[in-house]
A and B are shown apart, each in its own frame.
Chain A
Amino acid sequence: MSEHKDLKSVNEKMRSLMARTTHGRDDFEDLVIVPLFAVVVALVFGALIMLATAVDIPTIGRSFVALAVGSVGSLSAWSETLTAAVPLVLAGLGLGLGFRAGLFNIGAEGQLLMGGLAAVIAGFSLDFLPMVIHLPLTLLIGAAVGAGYAAIAGILKATTGAHEVISTIMLNLISFELLNWLLRQPWIQREGRSDPISKSVPDSARLPQLLDWISPNFRLHAGVFVMLLAVAFIWWLLFRSKVGFAFRTSGENPSAANYAGMKASLVIVLAMATAGALAGLAGAAQITGVLGRASPGFSAGIGFDAIAVALLGRSHPVGILFAGILFGGLEAGGRQMQVDAGVSIDLIGIIQALIIVFIAAPLLVRAIFPWGFRRSSKKEDAA
């Protein structure tokens, strides 16, 4: 009897996640109240940490105002927020897809670096192509190299069982060294420079700026459409395609997937490669949209922040879109905060980590704010 009920509730949850048209109170709590509380509590903790490091109260006030203004307070703030969100959402989609398939891929940072570097190389070496071919080709090459780099960890897991957490972390560290070495090679390094920096990507491979007709400071680029397309595609892939079904089944119940005849090792390699393709695309979008060239550590931790984005978005493409925009806003607002109030941007890292703690442990949020969840606790009592 109770098993039957469990099955029903799981079914309901899945259906509402997919359709997202009819939310029960439970879904509302999980999808809206928990993240909302998480953000508020994290900001409060952030204020406490500032207090503990002898930042005075007016400065704390100013830094929160700067955080708000810098993220959503003006058109330029929105431009910065969305610009920062593009690679976060792209890489986050890949990681979320991996989580769905039961793979904890920490290697987005390295895949992003490799994909971005491949995009740079494709950008400056194929400059004879017209833009309609050059730009998509550059992005595709970035995605393909990211996919290949991630597939190493996938193949290792599928053939030998090496845990992907450790192998992807090692691949990250290897990619940092590889990037530093490649950037010093004469065919990549910019002429006349002794520091490790690549040649520039020509305009024919750059994602067009969207708002430069208002002010050249607005950095928003066409990557935002790539991001939206990717969200739609991954939603389709996960919830409407056979491959996505195999991914989700392998993640939720490996033995069921096995009995249904899904090849576990193939699913692992495919899921890793898809995740790597998205991370590589994120790197390529960052290169062709914002940076225009590669330098050591150009990924700036996006691959690690994307883990938080994927967790916050509950590994659902639409959730990841909103989570990415939130984190992009924190990033843009954090820069403003550093300029206006002199509070280090590293504070944003703490706030982000706290948000994930509260998201990933809903029980914890329920313990802190019992009044926010009256209905569900009653239901638990009744059950």
Chain B
Amino acid sequence: MSDVTMTNQTQAQKLDSVAARKARIMGGILIALALLVIFVLHVVPGESATFRLTTRRDAIQIPDLVVPGAFNYVAAALLAFLGVRQFLQGGARWTSLSLGVGLAILVMAFLVWATAGKAFNLTSMLQAAVLASVPIALGGLAGVMSERVAVVNIAIEGMLLAGAFAGALIGSLLGGWIGLVAAILVGGSFGLLLAVLVVTFRMDQIIAGVVINLFVLGVTSYVSSQVFSEYRFLNNAKVFRQWEIPFLSDIPVLGPMLFDQNLFVYGAFILVGIATYYLFYTKNGLRARAVGEHPRAADTLGVDVYVTRYVHVTIAGMVAGFGGAFFTLGNVGRFEENMTNGRGYIGLAAMIFGRWHPVGALSAALIFGFADSIQRKLALLNTPIPSEFLAMAPYIATIIVVAGLVGRSRPPAADGKPYVKE
């Protein structure tokens, strides 16, 4: 008996020391960021950055936001304060918050430094950020749907690519709406395939996902080099245009961001809402989560574990297929080899960051989309930073997020384990 309490105590101490060490590391990182802002993101005194918030065509005009270069000294001081506080106190409870606030300050300082002496349209960047986050959010949502029933879904990347491909092909032949339906169905069929492989044939879930990704990449690349290169009309779909929502789209900054976008943006927000309601406020959602946490208990209570997993993984595939169609029907109208380029994996990271919750995944996706659009827009501003390093930013952000927060978010208990009915 005393042995057990002893181990519990030592374990608790160990956990404490791990948390404290992590907090100190984060403090060190914040102090390093403060130094970075002072020495690297140094703005020539007297110069200021101009951020445009409205364009001349907008109904409501608001003046430009002019930030003096001295802002960066304030930013560095704030970062240093957060870092020192974190380092000395090691307050585990505030670690994530400090890191989040610190990164936000860093981004602001960076923008001021990059735009110093120039003008920059902030609203159009935010609009692009929302657009860039759509496939990541839908990929993350697909991850939530399948991991909540304990199926690890590495295949999101392949499902996105398959959706993009089907959208382009069918969209070119039969029009955008049928192309969209085809993308959803093709994504769903890959979800079904994943379910067959991992639920019925109990294949290793990660291997099954990787295989689906390789297979989809192979098929789509093969068809696009074998067929599309010869018959170009098969790969020339009409793009869904932006739908302006009256009145709401006239709100400065928020209007263009949220209410002057295309079908996929609205679709992503609506799907996240539906998924949240379904998973956390309905009977079937509760059953699905039970299957993810403790399949044996769910089975005992009469929930069919296999059917639940089949249904949810297939739905996850459909969501990812819809997200994939964004690449072709919502963006360029043309399929290119491997055009998803790792977005599915970033979606997975968004799911982890978002703690396996649809709204969390969407918020994380918005952050990734922001990083992505910053690097695109900054390439136009002629900063001294090479474009390759800007392009790395979202990937580095993903690693930091996965490393920094994974301990604080918990996957469904049975995640990744096949279930064998007794």
Please report A residues at the B interface, Cβ cutoff 8 Å. Answer: 49, 53-55, 104, 106, 156, 159-163, 165-167, 169-171, 173-174, 177-178, 180-181, 304, 307-308, 311, 343-344, 346-354, 356-357, 360-361, 363-364, 367
Contacts and interface: CB of A to CB of B under 8 A. Distances in A.
B348 interface: yes
B407 A161 contact: yes
6 contacts: A49-B222, A167-B402, A304-B214, A349-B217, A360-B203, A363-B203
A181 B399 contact: no
Given A160-B406, A162-B402, A353-B215, A311 B207 contact: yes
B164 to A, nearest CB: 16
Interface in B171-229: 197, 201-204, 206-208, 210-211, 214-215, 217-219, 221-223, 225-227
Could you say which of A167, A311, A343 has the most chain B C-beta atoms within 10 Å of its C-beta? A167
B349 interface: yes
Contacts of A165: 154, 206, 345
B395 A174 contact: yes
B210 A173 contact: no
Interface in B249-282: none
Interface in B384-405: 386, 388-389, 391-392, 395-396, 398-399, 402-404
A107 to B, nearest CB: 12
Contacts of B219: 49, 350
Given A53-B223, A167-B399, 13 more contacts: A54-B227, A160-B403, A163-B406, A181-B386, A308-B214, A346-B225, A349-B218, A349-B222, A353-B218, A354-B215, A357-B197, A360-B207, A367-B201
A180 B222 contact: no
Query: Considering residues A165, A170, A346, A351, which has the most beta carbons from chain B within 10 angstroms of its beta carbon?
Result: A170
A166 B398 contact: yes
Contacts of B352: 163, 166
A346 B226 contact: yes
Contact of B406 (A55, A161, A304, A367): A161
A177 B214 contact: no
Nearest to B18: A159
Contact of B226 (A104, A343, A364): A343
A160 B392 CA distance: 21
A346 B227 CA distance: 12
A166 B402 contact: yes
Contacts of B402: 156, 162-163, 166-167, 170
A320 B154 CA distance: 24
B206 A357 contact: no
B342 interface: yes
Interface of B: 22, 154, 197, 201-204, 206-208, 210-211, 214-215, 217-219, 221-223, 225-227, 342, 345, 348-349, 352, 386, 388-389, 391-392, 395-396, 398-399, 402-404, 406-407
B399 A162 contact: yes
Contacts of B197: 357, 361, 364
Judged by DSSP, the binding face of B is helix
A167 B403 contact: yes
Nearest to A349: B218
Contacts of A304: 214
A361 B345 CA distance: 23
Contacts of B206: 104, 165
Given A170-B395, A363-B201, A344 B225 contact: yes
A289 B207 CA distance: 31
A3 B262 CA distance: 59
B370 to A, nearest CB: 17
A334 to B, nearest CB: 11
B406 A162 contact: yes
A309 to B, nearest CB: 12
Contacts of B388: 177-178, 180-181
B201 A364 contact: yes
Given A161-B406, A180-B388, A349-B221, A363 B207 contact: no
Contacts of B217: 349
A98 B352 CA distance: 23
- The list of the 5 closest CB pairs from A to B, nearest first, reads A349-B218, A346-B222, A350-B218, A353-B215, A181-B388
A307 B204 CA distance: 14
Contact of B392 (A162, A177, A353): A177
Contacts of A166: 345, 348-349, 352, 398-399, 402
Contact of B342 (A161, A163, A169): A169
A319 to B, nearest CB: 15
A54 B231 CA distance: 12
Contact of A307 (B210, B218, B223): B210
Contacts of A162: 399, 402-403, 406
Contacts of A347: 218, 222, 226
B226 A156 contact: no
B402 to A, nearest CB: 4
A177 B218 contact: no
B340 to A, nearest CB: 12
Contacts of A171: 395, 399
Contacts of A55: 226
Contacts of B399: 156, 162, 166-167, 170-171
A287 to B, nearest CB: 21
A64 to B, nearest CB: 16
A165 B402 CA distance: 11
B212 to A, nearest CB: 8
A245 B235 CA distance: 53
A44 to B, nearest CB: 15
A311 B214 CA distance: 13
A106 B201 CA distance: 23
Contact of A178 (B208, B349, B392, B398): B392
Contacts of B22: 160
Contact of B203 (A160, A178, A361): A361
Contacts of A351: 218
